Amino acid sequence: MPKLNATHNPEARSWVETANDADCDFPIQNLPFGIFSTAGKKRVGTAIGNQILDLSVLEEAGLLRPSPSTTVFNKPQLNDFMALPQKVWSNTRHAIFDLLGIQNAKLRDNAGLCAKALIPMTSAVLHLPIFVRSFTDFYASKEHASNVGAMFRGPDNALMPNWLHLPVGYNARASTVVVSGTEINRPCGQLKGPNDENPRFAPCEKLDIELELGAIVGTPSQMGTSLTTAEAYDMIFGYVILNDWSARDIQTWEYQPLGPFQSKAFATTISPWVITREALEPFRTPTPTPIKPLLPYLQEHTPNNFNINMAVNLIPQDGPSTTLSATNYKNMYYSSAQQLTHHASSGCAMCTGDLLGSGTISGPTKDSYGSLLEMTWGGKETIQLTGGGTRSFIEDGDTLELTAHCITSGYRVGFGTCRGKILPAIIEPDR
């Protein structure tokens, strides 16, 4: 069951007035962690309303002390803080919650400290929040797996025999995980159509997105050990929106028999604010009832999915935004805890900063699919844009914006945005 405490009180309000707005992504009940900079110096902050609370300033002033032996908030990534015991994560959240509470004057009435510690979001640059130790991408939506399987193997063989027994995944590329706002050049690779005698090297012609949720490991596990789903759930520090950009035509040619390689290695975008597991407690919900019984190590005894509303918007170079999809994470067949449990089941060591992509999040209807591959059924159909024009796949100049939020009585927990603009391919002269 959800573990609720004072930080989830729907009636709590902050003296940072914009945090109390009904449509605010970052109320006092959220308190996500991220990395920001002003004048080039990166450090850890918390989003509150339209402000960033500089945690390094509070740590220096002695108002926050996650570690008695070293500082963790004057760092360019969250890994040092995430590596601390889970109880420290929670204690720090409670301390920030108390400092920002509407009745607490300790920071509110200290004009000098407040001026140093509160920075308008518009005056700061947001950065990749973690050092990504490793990146693993899963394939955990039954609707998505069924759609893609039906597209390539027919509806009778849509799901491979193993899919209903384990969360399918593959080791992906950590070096090209980038923060929201980073522009992406269209990838190049080997393309081979069904009637081509030989492949050619050229820019991707079927560029796509995948709407995902990324889970970030905080507590590591030791090589040779395994996890229960309860242990795995607690090990996760927090979550981000994740867009696993996909070159579908490169993927079609390269992925057999081992799976995606260059078609997924060129870029993965994540949102800058890490929404903590504790902030999402009120939104816990069970995974769907398994169609086939899962082996004992994958069985869950608590609701480990989340009720998160998610959407995909496409913004052309010269035109208004079009909402391509609206879906919900709660329908995912395998939770992040199950994915992490399976990942460690062979004795694989999990590390602080490991990133687990959920796989494309698709719902049961066309307007809830999480990839253009599904929305256009492999490019055979087109999507009508709000300002005119159509799309089957992403064109140069298009910006894709992924959003996510949870709603409960009294407040909303938002993830911010996960944005990326596609630039033309870089063509080397000798290609």
253-302 pLDDT, tens digit per residue, is 998 888 899 999 999 999 999 999 999 999 999 999 999 999 999 999 99
What DSSP string describes 94-118? Answer: HHHHHHHBTT-HHHHT-HHHHHHHE
Q: Are residues 293 and 333 in the same domain?
A: yes
Q: Give me the pLDDT at residue 207, please.
A: 98
Q: Are residues 173 and 268 in the same domain?
A: yes
Q: How confident is the model over 194-211, as a mean pLDDT?
A: 96
115 pLDDT exceeds 60? yes
Active-site residue 127, yes or no?
no
Q: Are residues 110 and 162 in the same domain?
A: no
Is 67 contained in some domain? yes
Give the residue carrying structure tokens 């850890």.
44
Is 150 contained in some domain? yes
Domain boundary among 127, 156, 187: 127
pLDDT tens profile 66-90: 999 999 999 999 999 999 999 999 9
Q: Are residues 285 and 353 in the same domain?
A: yes
What's the structural domain count of the chain?
2
Q: Are residues 58 and 192 in the same domain?
A: no
Is 290 contained in some domain? yes
Is 431 contained in some domain? no
Q: Are residues 144 and 122 in the same domain?
A: no
Q: Are residues 29 and 94 in the same domain?
A: yes
93: domain CATH number is: 2.30.30.230
298: domain CATH number is: 3.90.850.10
Q: 297 lies in which domain range? A: 135-423
Q: Are residues 170 and 287 in the same domain?
A: yes
Domain boundary among 69, 92, 127: 127
- Give the pair of three-digit tokens for residue 104: 């607490």
Parallel, antiparallel, or unpaired for β 41-48 and 411-423?
A: unpaired
Q: Are residues 180 and 252 in the same domain?
A: yes
From the number of C-beta atoms within 10 Å of its C-beta (0-12, 13-18, 19+), residue 156 rates as exposed
Q: Are residues 98 and 200 in the same domain?
A: no
Domain boundary among 127, 148, 169: 127
Q: How confident is the model over 317-337, as a mean pLDDT?
A: 97
Residue ranges in 4-60 assigned as alpha helix (H): 55-60
From the number of C-beta atoms within 10 Å of its C-beta (0-12, 13-18, 19+), residue 324 rates as buried
Q: Annotated catalytic residue: which of 127, 144, 343, 405?
A: 144
Q: Are residues 115 and 193 in the same domain?
A: no
Mean pLDDT, rounded, of the chain: 96
Is 66 contained in some domain? yes
